[in-house]
């Protein structure tokens, strides 16, 4: 792929500031999705964790994905036992890698719900994509998911030759809570002396702050709701004193020297403000950033077979390709 973000025609915009903005309405195909009965938010005051997991899995059923050369299920020894991974390849020879962490509020999701973005990124970039089935809360609260994802990066670095991965071209990435895990792992990698090629942050969770403009403006009615984010934080980080720990909270940290970043945000996503603020914070610390804003997009669209999802995945793939070239 030789296109660059500056020349590729899109329905999104390059976001140069942290000012939150949105279109007048969401995309038509996303409106159709939100009108489906199974897309309505649950009552988080009464539902069980299993209720939410079942709804999430039903809304992320595997769909048509582009072909890749091979898909292999494997595992490595993590801090809490074996951690399953799914490895997508476009070649049997040496390739750059994307270490992918699925979304789901640190509580939901698995290798299957993360299949569409992981397999598409493999197909579009030629990278070997390693999707990580990290432990979930509330069974394993903070910092369990971070510990597994950080261990996954160390495993990829240590086993790069066996995995046919170029250790100089490893990118971490994820969507939503997975974006949080990618960003915090990237920050820890800097401190551990691991040089990453990039960090791919798709509408990442950045901080526990429900007063930000996007929470105020679109915290209800567009899929992800404020009540759900409060529920996720309570499940993953029940101890309030941990919510400023750099393994989960990113604003206010020293970000200098972290890997170049791609940050995608959506206008009708409660997490938009914090993603835009994080892009600005990275720039202020001298980190190269490409921030893409989809003003009529919603949270979760990157993992959907919708127009904005296609555009978002394409933009991310172009950035990865350009960054690794």
Q: Which two tokens stand for residue 116?
A: 């569409």
**Strand ranges (E), 269-324:** 289-298
Cα–Cα dist 324/219, whole Å: 36
Cα–Cα dist 64/58, whole Å: 15
Which residue in the block uniquely carries the two structure tokens 């025609």? 9
Q: Which two tokens stand for residue 91?
A: 């070649």
Return the active site residues: 176, 269, 299
Which residue in the block uniquely carries the two structure tokens 């077979």? 305
Q: How far is CA 80 from CA 138, 140, 145, 202, in A?
A: 15, 9, 10, 27
Q: Which two tokens stand for residue 111?
A: 């290798």
**Residue 306 has what DSSP assignment?**
S
Following CA atoms 102, 108, 113, 115 in sequence, which dihedral angle do they give, to the nearest 10 degrees? Answer: 20
Q: Are 282 and 292 in contact (CB under 8 A)?
A: no
How far from the centroid of its chain's Cα atoms is residue 12's Cα?
A: 18
Q: Give 28's strand partners.
A: none
Q: Which two tokens stand for residue 248?
A: 């989960």
* Secondary structure of residue 6 in the 3-state scheme: coil
* Secondary structure of residue 39 in the 3-state scheme: helix
Number of helices and strands (H, E) in the chain? Answer: 10, 9
Kindly give the pairing relationship between strand 81-89 and strand 13-14. Answer: unpaired
């Amino acid at each position: 792929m030789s296109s660059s973000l500056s020349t590729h025609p899109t329905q999104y915009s390059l976001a140069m500031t942290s000012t939150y903005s949105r279109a007048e309405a969401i995309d038509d195909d996303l409106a159709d999705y939100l009108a489906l009965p199974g897309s309505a938010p649950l009552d988080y005051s009464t539902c069980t964790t299993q209720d939410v997991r079942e709804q999430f899995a039903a809304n992320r059923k595997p769909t048509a994905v582009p072909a890749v050369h091979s898909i292999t299920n494997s595992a490595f020894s993590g801090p809490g036992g074996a951690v399953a991974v799914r490895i997508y390849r476009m070649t049997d020879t040496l390739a750059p890698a994307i270490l992918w962490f699925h979304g789901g509020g640190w509580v939901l999701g698995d290798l299957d719900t993360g299949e569409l973005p992981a397999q598409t990124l493999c197909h579009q970039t030629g990278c070997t994509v390693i999707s990580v089935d990290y432990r979930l809360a509330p069974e394993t609260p903070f910092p369990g998911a971070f510990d597994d994802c950080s261990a996954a990066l160390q495993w990829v670095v240590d086993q790069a030759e066996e995995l046919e991965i170029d250790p100089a071209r490893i990118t971490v990435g994820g969507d939503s809570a997975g974006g949080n895990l990618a960003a915090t792992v990237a920050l820890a990698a800097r401190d551990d002396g691991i040089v990453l090629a990039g960090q791919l942050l798709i509408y990442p969770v950045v901080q526990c702050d429900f007063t930000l403009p996007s929470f105020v403006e679109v915290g209800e009615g567009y899929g992800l709701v404020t009540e759900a984010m409060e529920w996720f934080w309570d499940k993953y980080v029940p101890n309030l004193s941990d919510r400023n720990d750099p393994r989960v909270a990113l604003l206010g940290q020293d970000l200098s020297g972290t890997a170049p970043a791609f940050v995608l945000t959506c206008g009708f996503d409660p997490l938009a403000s914090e993603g835009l603020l994080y892009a600005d914070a990275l720039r202020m610390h001298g980190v190269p950033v490409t921030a893409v804003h989809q003003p009529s997009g919603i949270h979760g669209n990157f993992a959907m077979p919708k127009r904005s999802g296609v555009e978002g995945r394409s933009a991310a793939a172009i950035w990865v390709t350009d960054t690794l070239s």
